[in-house]
């Protein structure tokens, strides 16, 4: 646990929660704490799914601009690489992940949300990549993950203009996957995550690896990756239990150990 970020685990669901008032700005310390908790959430057997959450008021307002403005080029090169590595570690958590977005997810805050498999926001949220208004561009995945998620043309519009996007448009663009009442955001994210708490953890890990890894290669190599991960699941207890349960009791009644 850190000063500004902590991991809370209950019933198989781990919540990585940011608490750096007033807007959870991503400074050096927050970045370092996020990196440590990404590793912890990845390796803990009692964490079967992960929620990224900034609290009831705001998800994350972006990088700490005062801190960034004082850096030299050399210092910014190091910090930018560290932040990119941290967000990549969050994206690589081998478990289902969901961002519970309240208030704002701007700049680095949206880049943080883009690391999750799913994004649920309140109907009053605003998201965006406003870095262009500072004379810079997104530097921790915004130009890459956003373009892969919603397509290059739509991503360019948001990044070139730096405009804020309200919940309805964010849903239509595909940045958000679900919009709920503001006070229902965390509960909705928890409901989604909780369904995997007793699921086949190895198969879920394989599904995520196949989808994410396949997006980085051509179709032929993506199919090879899928076939290898598919076959490897025959070495798991969950595959044996799942198929035995299907034959004996029909679909949807298997219990899994995550092994």
* Residue tagged active-site, from 8, 10, 40, 131: 131
Q: What is the CATH number of the domain that holds 165?
A: 3.90.226.10
- On whether both 120 and 17 belong to a single domain, the answer is yes
- Does the pTM surpass 0.85? The reply is yes
Range of the domain at 51: 5-194
CA 211 to chain centre: 14
* Residue tagged active-site, from 8, 33, 111, 237: 111
Mean pLDDT, residues 69-75 taken together: 89
- On whether both 12 and 40 belong to a single domain, the answer is yes
Which tens digit of pLDDT belongs to each residue from 214-227? 999 999 999 999 99
Mean pLDDT, residues 177-184 taken together: 98
- Answer whether the bond into residue 118 is a cis peptide, omega within 30°: no
Distance, CA of 92 to CA of 106 (rounded, Å) = 21
On whether residue 171 sits in a domain, the answer given is yes
- On whether both 58 and 151 belong to a single domain, the answer is yes
Q: 201-214 vs 219-232: helix axis angle to the nearest 10? A: 170
On whether residue 108 sits in a domain, the answer given is yes
Q: Which of 194, 209, 224 is the last residue of a domain?
A: 194
- On whether both 233 and 208 belong to a single domain, the answer is yes
Q: Please tell me which residue, 94 or 62, carries the higher pLDDT value.
A: 94
Mean pLDDT, residues 7-12 taken together: 96
33 in active site: no
pLDDT at 180: 98
3-class secondary-structure state, position 61: coil
- For 65, other C-beta atoms within 10 Å of its C-beta total 12
| pLDDT above 90 (res 202) | yes
Strand 49-53 and strand 97-101: pairing? Answer: parallel
- On whether both 229 and 167 belong to a single domain, the answer is no
- On whether both 66 and 183 belong to a single domain, the answer is yes
On whether residue 112 sits in a domain, the answer given is yes
| pLDDT above 90 (res 255) | no
Domain total in the chain: 2
Q: Which of 194, 222, 241 is the last residue of a domain?
A: 194
pLDDT at 23: 93
Alpha helices, DSSP H only, in 94-216?
108-113, 142-150, 152-161, 167-173, 185-194, 201-214
Q: Which two tokens stand for residue 225?
A: 């990756």
On whether residue 254 sits in a domain, the answer given is no
| pLDDT above 80 (res 101) | yes
pLDDT at 66: 82
On whether residue 255 sits in a domain, the answer given is no
- On whether both 162 and 229 belong to a single domain, the answer is no
Which phi and psi (to 5°) does residue 8 adopt?
A: -110, 130
On whether residue 142 sits in a domain, the answer given is yes
56 in active site: no
Average pLDDT score over the chain: 94
- On whether both 150 and 220 belong to a single domain, the answer is no
Closest CA to 156 of 176, 177, 135, 138: 138
On whether residue 258 sits in a domain, the answer given is no
| pLDDT above 90 (res 250) | no
- For 224, other C-beta atoms within 10 Å of its C-beta total 12
Q: Please tell me which residue, 248 or 131, carries the higher pLDDT value.
A: 131
């Amino acid at each position: 646990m850190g000063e500004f970020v902590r991991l809370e685990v209950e019933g198989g669901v781990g919540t990585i929660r940011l608490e750096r008032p007033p807007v959870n700005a991503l400074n050096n310390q927050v970045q370092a704490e996020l990196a440590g908790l990404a590793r912890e959430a990845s390796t803990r057997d009692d964490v079967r799914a992960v929620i990224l959450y900034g609290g009831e008021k705001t998800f994350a307002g972006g990088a700490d601009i005062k801190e960034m403005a004082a850096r030299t080029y050399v210092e910014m090169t190091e910090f930018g690489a560290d932040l990119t590595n941290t967000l990549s570690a969050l994206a690589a958590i081998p478990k289902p992940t969901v961002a519970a977005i309240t208030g704002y997810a701007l700049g680095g805050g949206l880049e943080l949300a883009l690391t999750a498999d799913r994004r649920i926001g309140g109907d009053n949220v605003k998201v965006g990549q406003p870095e262009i208004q500072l004379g810079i561009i997104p530097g921790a995945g915004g130009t890459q993950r956003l373009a892969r998620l919603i397509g290059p043309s739509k991503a360019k519009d948001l990044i070139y203009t730096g405009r804020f996007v309200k919940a309805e448009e964010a849903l239509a663009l595909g940045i958000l996957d679900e919009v709920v009442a503001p006070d229902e955001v965390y509960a909705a994210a928890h409901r989604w995550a909780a369904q995997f708490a007793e699921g086949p953890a190895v198969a879920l890990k394989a599904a995520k690896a196949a989808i994410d890894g396949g997006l980085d290669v051509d179709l032929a190599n993506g199919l090879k990756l899928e076939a290898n991960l598919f076959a490897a699941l025959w070495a798991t207890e969950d595959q044996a239990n799942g198929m035995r349960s299907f034959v004996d009791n029909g679909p949807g009644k298997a219990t899994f150990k995550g092994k």
